[in-house]
Amino acid sequence: MTRPETELNDAQIQVISTVVQGMMAPVMEQIAVILQHNTEAMERIAATQQMMSTRISDLEKQVRLKTPMSRAQERCLNDAIRSRARELMDSKGFADDRKAVIRLSGLIRKSLLARYGVDSLREAPAYDYETAMEQARSWNDLLAVRDTVRDARKRAEAEEEGVKA
């Protein structure tokens, strides 16, 4: 069987392949260069986005740390401080001694202020409100309570002597 004339022989195929490769090589090189540039640009964009994300996170953290407690949070914290002071003094039998409760409240407040390094509860960071509340609710400085009870006892004794005289 003879091959039809429309079929290409191996030599012709080789020539056509070489011509096509010669024509396509410069185009493919240009495409490779463009892809390389695109890859580099994408890597720079990704690095920039990562840097911006880090900066935004740092700024959010700074804002969160510097946002002071609201007046309502401060009021609730003060209530918790007074409640804890009253509770501690009640356990020692001096819940009615207003001076003792006020003094103990001041000591609890002072420990909270020292924790945050601020001059007023309003300046304490709002994000740490729950921790501050927990500290106020569980505060128990035995020496301070003992000293406050001793002062309350002295006042009570002086009052009794004043009533007897």
Q: Is 98 inside a domain boundary? A: yes
Residues 50 and 121 in one domain: no
Query: Which tokens is 26 given?
Result: 């410069």
What local confidence, expressed as pLDDT, does residue 3 receive? 55
What local confidence, expressed as pLDDT, does residue 4 receive? 55
Q: Is 58 inside a domain boundary? A: yes
What local confidence, expressed as pLDDT, does residue 65 receive? 76
Q: From residue 50, give the alpha-carbon distance in Å to each of 36, 57, 64, 152.
A: 21, 11, 21, 61
Q: Is 37 inside a domain boundary? A: yes
What local confidence, expressed as pLDDT, does residue 14 receive? 87
Q: Is the pTM of this model over 0.85?
A: no
Residues 81 and 160 in one domain: yes
How many CA within 13 A on the CB side of residue 52? 6
The total number of structural domains in the chain stands at 2
Residues 149 and 83 in one domain: yes
In terms of Cβ atoms closer than 10 Å to its own Cβ (0-12, 13-18, 19+), residue 95 is: middle
Per-residue pLDDT tens for 99-137? Answer: 999 999 999 999 999 999 999 998 888 888 999 999 999
Q: Is 3 inside a domain boundary? A: no
What local confidence, expressed as pLDDT, does residue 6 receive? 58
Q: Name the residue range of residue 103's domain.
A: 71-164
Residues 61 and 89 in one domain: no
What local confidence, expressed as pLDDT, does residue 143 receive? 94
- Which residue positions in the chain have pLDDT lower than 50? 1
